[in-house]
Structure 1
Amino acid sequence: MGLLGEAEFLEALRRLYEDSRSKNSGSVWITFKRTFPEVGGSRGAKRRRKLEGCEEKPEAVPVCLVRATDGKKKISIQVEAEKASSFSQRLFEVSRLYTDQVKPSSPGAAKDKQQKDKQQTQRQRKPRQDKKNKSEGRSNSSLKREM
């Protein structure tokens, strides 16, 4: 899992999506993490010691680490702040293209969606039924009066 360039990352992400789609099962997970790049090849406590010892402290510019995996293959990229908006647009274009079976966030959301769909279909049918019921209602009331 090495760091890839933008075009390489997006192409590898497309391949991950296509592989999971061809199997008709599987998921692709994308994670975002705000991180600071390595300074002099060190991280953590070593990095802090190096920064304290340096006369010129380099400005710590955060980057976004974007990782994607399908459970077997892993890919990643570091995106700088200047390129973040253009990269995120391309990333979401790819993910929208291949995301077709998104599950609802909660079981209640699925029921709510089903109820809304039913209500919409009933609203479309109601005016027709109301006209029939009104005409039937008149004949029924006239029948009751006659009895």
Structure 2
Amino acid sequence: VVLLESKQFLAELTRLFQECRLSGSVFLTLKKYDGRTKPIPRKVSVEGFEPSDNKCLLRATDGKKKISTVVSSKEVNKFQMAYSNLLRANMDGLKKRDKKSKSKKSKAAQ
């Protein structure tokens, strides 16, 4: 996994979307990140560890290439705006849902 700065991550994510436009998928994950690099043992509790600020860990992969970034709470608004614009620009290749099949299933269930 390659850890990048937020601007580099967005540039690489754009490149990843372009490579997978015709065939393939891009998987995105987002989770809270407290800065730890090692897991906590279950039997021993670490009471002295206090994260300085809340962070988000974003990961993206196409199955072959993995990229990730850590966004701090101070820059999350700026990053979120750029990230949402990137997603809107690259979500145009999604398949339309067939609304008829959904209504037939709901009638059959009643």
TM range (shorter): 0.7 to 0.9
Q: Matched residue pairs, number?
A: 100
**How big is the shift at 1:45?**
2.3
Corresponding residue to 2:99 among 95, 111, 115: 111
Which residues of structure 2 form unaligned runs of 5+? 104-110
Counting only pairs closer than 5 Å after superposition, residues 122-137 of structure 1 correspond to structure 2 as none
Tell me the equivalent position of 2:25: 27
1:43 aligns with 2:39: yes
1:2: Cα distance to partner? 2.4
Structure 1 length as normaliser, TM-score? 0.58
| Deviation per residue, 1:10-45 (Å, 9 max, x gap) | 111011011112xx111112111112112xx54322
Return the structure number with greater relative CO, CA threshold 8 A, min gap 6: 2
User: Shift of the alpha carbon at 1:103?
Assistant: 3.4
Shift of 1:60: 5.0
Q: Which has the higher strand share?
A: 2
Gapped regions of structure 1 (runs ≥ 5): 116-147
Sequence identity percentage: 33
Q: 2:56·2:70 contact (CA, 8 Å) conserved in 1?
A: yes
TM-score relative to the length of structure 2: 0.75
Question: 1: CA distance between counterparts of 2:17 and 2:93?
Answer: 12
What residue identity is the alignment partner of 2:41? A
* Distance change >3 Å, CA 45–CA 35, structure 1 → 2: same
Match of 1:72 in 2: 64
Greater helix fraction, Structure 1 or Structure 2: 1
